[in-house]
Amino acid sequence: MDNIPQVHASLGEQELAAVAEVFASGWPAGQGPKGKALEAELAARYGAGGAVALSNCGAALHLAMLALGVQPGDEVIVADFTFPAPAHAVRYVGGVPVFADVRADTGTVDPRAVADLVGPRTVGVIAVDTVGLPADYAELAAIAERHGLFLVEDAACSVGATYQGRPAGALAPVACLSFHGRKGATSGEGGALLTADPALAADARIRSSFGIGSIFDQARVVGLPIPEFTEIGYNYKLSDIAAAILLVQLRRVDELLSRRQAVAARYAELLAGEELLTLPHVPDDRTHAWQTYMVTLDSTVDRSAVAAALRAQGIGCGHGTWACHLQPVYEAKQACPVSADLFQRNLAIPMHAELSMEQVDRVVDALRAAVRAGAREGAA
């Protein structure tokens, strides 16, 4: 039987045609016509005061920390149960990431944990839309306002999701998107910074291009303008090739999300009542982008044995995401017991827009058998 990958990008002829246009234009580099069009599309889509197309979401988080003025020694509260990019970004600028535990039912950051961690050195909060599910932004915004903190939405996984009727990516004054190959809209790699503040967007844009701004724009000026380096910047530009792909992908978001939702609904239908695992929980006030479909295994189940059984049948799977405070690079002082537990028991199974219902059925059959066998091994 054919393999069923855990992730698969939905890229095709429309995207290839868009790339061909860029090749013909003579400007494949960053901050050109397609990049500008993408930024305008993102700003309109999310109602943002400014949008900056970038090489990846990690770059967006880094630039956000710089633009928001995080200084060495400042503490930023970050969601613990996630890929560690937010904490990395805090460390890039000399800040101290303080890890907040998460809700057991959603895996999103627990506002009560955030409130308990606010101290005299706290300057902000980075919330994460965990594997595509938005966090509790009403509560988080209230905490940030009460203590005079900035709030950043890491929406890397949540393009297409909503919270209280608003799109993920527009749930905080600053948001960071990812267009990595497993996301709902992808250019292979890529990201964006969205903000309500045009000045903050301008700061991020200049820093994303070595501190000299757009070479494309300067090349169109009559005469010989000589760029001046006004900031210590970085090479975080998104190529016009990737921007062209994303312009197509953004038009397809609803279509691709609909397919992922159908896969999630089929999993929920077929796995309902399976006592040895818990399905993802989506509160009534939000929708999920389904970047990842994670089940939580019973503590009696040997997750490694389950993964080995699935992979032996050509079915992709993974551990889910990370409990950042346990990673040796951070040497974190606080405990996040809920995150640590989820880190040990979550299992990510195939989720992407190219899955057929027949493949979903095969995954479920294999998972059910592997979980039951894994429970016996775990109890042994």
Within 8 A by CB and 6+ apart from 241, the residues are: 19, 22, 28, 34, 187
Tokens of 363: 């995954």
**Interatomic CA distance for residues 79 and 99, integer angstroms:** 6
* Dihedral over Cα of 354, 357, 361, 367: its sign: positive
- Report whether 152 contacts 82 (CB < 8 A): no
Quick one: angle between helices 303-312 and 357-379, nearest 10?
A: 140
Give the distance, in angstroms, between the CA of residue 78 and the centroid of all CA atoms in the same chain. Answer: 14
Q: Which of 34, 183, 237, 333 is catalytic?
A: 183
Total Cβ atoms within 10 A of residue 378: 19
Q: Is 183 a catalytic residue?
A: yes
How is residue 334 annotated by DSSP?
Answer: S
DSSP state of 127: E
- Positions marked active-site: 183
